[in-house]
Amino acid sequence: MNFLTHLECGMCKKKLDAEKIWNLCPDCGKPLLARYDLNRAGRAVNKNDFNKREPNLWRYHELLPLRNPRFRLSLGEGFTPLIEARRLGEKLGFNSIFIKDESLNPTGSFKARGLCMAVSKVNELGIKEVSIPSAGNAAGALCAYASLAGISAHVFMPNDVPRSFIAECRALGGHITLVDGLITDCRKKATEGIKKFNWFDISTLREPYRIEGKKTMGYEIAEQMKWELPDVIIYPTGGGTGLVGMWKAFFEMAEMGWINSKKPRMVSVQSEGCAPIVKAFQEGKEFAEPWMGARTIADGLRVPSAIGDFLILRAIRESRGTAVTVSDEDIFNQASTIGNTQGIFACPEGGATLAAFKQLRETGWIKDDETVVLFNTGSGHKYYHLWMKDKEDIS
């Protein structure tokens, strides 16, 4: 059983038929969100039954947009460990710190969640060719699920993307285009193919399904914490799907009566070299201005302009959260700290969450008795070059 009812514009609230193919809202051009009959779902689904289900994101299938289970694709994505980081906590003199380790997903990042869902759904809708602009991880994840579904993936990455991502997309059978510029330039390039060949555009928040895959991180944290959410969640923000998705998940769960009304304060962390959301948050704006000259070692955060900016800012404000910048040096150092205290080879984006944590604790925004979840969104393996720089070349 599945409780999807319709799609709804995140801005103007226009309702759309969920059985048809949509990208953005046809009226105002903003992102669409999947809506469910939460009343019925709350009565039909018992949250205590999840432990009998498979440890992947399909365990929440009633609240996901796929209709026909025949189209479910799976490489084992989701239900990643929520690790109580004791050694890290000791080092920081902090009691209750958890790491949601997304590096264990297929293709080594949480992009697998979104692309698993989107490719499953577009396959159900009969789409045969898709395209994506990506800083690397989304491209790899798309190629993996497209390969599994037997559909074509056209991926557009900046030409300075780490070589590991190119290798991965090649091995997974993707059609690769390298673009001179940033992810925003990649999108422009992809748009040519979308217009000419009618590929389905699977860019961040320009279709309603990736966010549904990513919202399962919120369901998992609730389930793994026995339906008692943490005080603070720190999330490295690029396009913002994960942050917006989790915030959506918390409302859905509250509506279904699975959790009480206490929700976490959502923290968005970006690099000093690309921080459009932090700037907009600090200036009290509803939308973010495009960031000029975006630069950071955390490729997933090099997003100068996000179509879901107002949804990210809304989630931060509604949750009484905040947004902070951290330096690339700190990003690198804290990724290493996660590695040498907890045995997790974290991606730089994961390091950014620890850097933000330290900053917020120093200012007293995070209190000693609070429970905090950091997101390690991907594996350090694909960014291994960062740990080789200035070091003896042993290759």
Ligand X SMILES: *Cc1c(COP(=O)(O)O)cnc(C)c1O
Q: Which residues bind ligand X (CB under 6 A)?
A: 109, 111, 137, 204, 236-242, 300, 347, 349, 377-378
Instruction: Find the shortest distance in angstroms from Cβ 213 to ligand X.
Output: 11
Nearest residue relative to ligand X (C-beta): 300
Q: Measured from the CB atom, is 130 or 211 closer to ligand X? A: 211
Minimal CA–CA distance to 374: which of 228, 265, 233, 217? 233
**Least spacing, CB of residue 204 vs ligand X, in Å:** 5
Question: Considering only CA atoms, which of 224, 236, 212 is closest in space to residue 374?
Answer: 236
Nearer of residues 269 and 372 to ligand X, judged by Cβ? 269
Residue 186: is it exposed, middle or buried by C-beta count within 10 angstroms (0-12/13-18/19+)?
buried
CB 82 to ligand X: min, Å:
17
Tell me the torsion sign for CA atoms 207, 210, 214, 215: positive
Instruction: Rank residues 106 and 300 by Cβ distance to ligand X and give the closer one.
Output: 300
- Which residue lies nearer to ligand X by CB, 65 or 350? 350
Shortest distance, CB of residue 145 to ligand X, whole angstroms? 15
Q: What are phi and psi of 29, to 5 degrees?
A: 75, 20
CB of 102 to ligand X, least distance (A): 8
Output the smallest distance, CB 136 to ligand X, in A: 7
Question: Which is closer to ligand X, CB of 124 or CB of 334?
Answer: 334
| Cα–Cα dist 151/122, whole Å | 10
Q: Which amino acid is at 360?
A: L
Least separation in angstroms between CB 142 and ligand X: 12
Torsion sign across C-alpha atoms 345, 378, 323, 135: positive
Show contacts of 282-291: CB within 8 Å, 24+ apart: 282/323, 285/313, 286/310, 286/313, 287/313, 288/313, 290/184
CA–CA separation, 35 and 6 (whole Å): 5
DSSP structural state of residue 178: E
**Residue 104 token pair:** 């264990």
Place of tokens 């955390």: 298
Chain position carrying tokens 């009484």: 320
- Please identify, using beta-carbon distances, which residue of 2 and 305 lies nearer to ligand X: 305
Answer positive or negative: Cα dihedral of 290, 243, 322, 297.
Answer: negative
Shortest distance, CB of residue 393 to ligand X, whole angstroms?
26
Which residues are CB-contacts of 314 (< 8 A; sequence separation ≥ 6)?
none
Which tokens hold the place of 192? 């040519």
Secondary structure letter of residue 14 according to DSSP:
-
Closer to ligand X by Cβ: residue 3 or 110? 110
Comparing CB distances to ligand X, the nearer of 9 and 306 is: 306
The C-alpha atoms of residue 149 and residue 133 are separated, in whole angstroms, by: 20
